[in-house]
Amino acid sequence: MAPREVFSSTASNPLGRPRGLWSALHLDPILLFLLIVLISCGFFVLYSGADRNLDVVKAQGVRFAVAFVVMLVFAQLDPSVFRRWAPWLYVLGLAGLVAVLFVGVGAKGAQRWLALPGLPRFQPSELMKLVVPIMAAWYLSRHFLPPKLSRIGVGLAIVLLPMLLIVRQPDLGTSLLVGMAGLFVVFFAGMSWKLIGAFLAMVSVAAPVMWFFGMREYQKQRVLTLLDPQSDPLGAGWNIIQSKTAIGSGGLDGKGWLQGTQSHLEFLPESHTDFIVAVLAEEFGFVGILILLSVYFLIILRCLFIAVTAQDSFSRLVAGALTMTFFIYVFVNVGMVSGLLPVVGVPLPLVSYGGTSTVTLMAAFGILMSIHTHRRMITA
């Protein structure tokens, strides 16, 4: 098939299926290599962004070790396991989200964490980034595709319900990411372009309604500040002005590793978490940004290839949606740091310092590897 060959990077192996050791481990060497390249580069930027604090880098290392184990475990499971468990995981996730609203813990006016006795603290909303696309894919792939209108409606409801619960926490950023993950499933399932057009029209009508009734004051402030950061240069606009200054002053080839004045003199806020790409831009310049975006692009290409070569609709939908969610992370984060999008608290995937999202992302890659390595030799 022509498209398969377009995406194939292992010409000697028509199915792109890994052999030998990789096959036994259920890992995709190409994706693994790209991830390791990204994560290794991330450590260097993190060391600088955290102002040479080796403890931060070590903590991140431990976190990635855990995340790798999670990825490895997910890769071992057959995609059908995810499919069978989808409804139960979804119900469990919803229960978790409801529980967070009542007994959750958190800071800055938002309850996001669930501290259950005997379990490590975790965010149910983070789990939903995986569960929602799996659930939607499970539901839609049970019937022939493209789905009928009523099924699309149910599919959208599956996505919307956890979204609303997450917005209540409130956590707009995660809610949007969960929603996007679900919507990508519906899109890949074959929702007709007419419907997509109608849906987009609906969103554009709903946006002003959200503005006046659905958004909290701090969220409105973020949007307003995005539109005109100079209006509040010492307050909310500070972050954007400083990150743009960091990026812009980097120039073509940057100030050099550990030489970024904006981050090391503490002008750049959140320099090792959400705004870490500004550190990279300042110290490695436009060249560094091009390399970073290229690595992300290669990862996405490989993942889309995995999706296309998947053997059943469920796997395809899950792989496609998870890949696009990963891309959305990249786009929203780089967009917000460079002042294109409002500051919504989305980390740069696999580079920003932070726990939960790293584990979730690696779990997603685990699922992708599982999909890729559990294909049967004989096509259905």
Q: Compare residues 36 and 340 and give the one whose CB is closer to other proteins.
A: 340
Check if the beta carbon of residue 333 is closer than 8 Å to that of residue 38: no
Of residues 22 through 41, those in contact with other proteins by CB under 8 A are none
Among 156, 281, 322, 343, binds other proteins (CB under 8 A): 281
Mapped onto helix, strand or coil, the DSSP state of residue 342 is: coil
Check if the beta carbon of residue 273 is closer than 8 Å to that of residue 238: no
Of residues 84 through 143, those in contact with other proteins by CB under 8 A are 142-143
Of residues 230 through 249, those in contact with other proteins by CB under 8 A are 234-235, 238, 241-242, 244-249
Q: Compare residues 10 and 261 and give the one whose CB is closer to other proteins.
A: 261
Q: Compare residues 23 and 192 and give the one whose CB is closer to other proteins.
A: 192
Residues in the interface with other proteins (CB under 8 A) total 57
- Cβ count within 10 A of residue 82: 23
Residue type, 302: R
Instruction: Establish if 289 lies at the interface with other proteins (CB under 8 A).
Output: yes
Mark 163-202 with x for binding to other proteins (rule: CB under 8 A) and - for no binding.
---------------------x--xx-x------------
Contacts of 63 (CB under 8 A, 6+ apart): 355, 358, 359
Shortest reach from residue 190's CB to other proteins, in Å: 5
Greatest CA separation for the chain: 63
Q: Compare residues 111 and 249 and give the one whose CB is closer to other proteins.
A: 249
Question: What torsion, rounded to 10 degrees, do the Cα atoms 268, 273, 278, 281 define?
Answer: 140
Q: Which stretch binds other proteins (CB under 8 A): 109-117, 154-162, 175-183, 319-327?
A: 319-327
CA dist 346 and 328 (Å) reads 10
Q: Compare residues 130 and 299 and give the one whose CB is closer to other proteins.
A: 299
CA nearest neighbour of 173 among 339, 367, 353, 328:
328
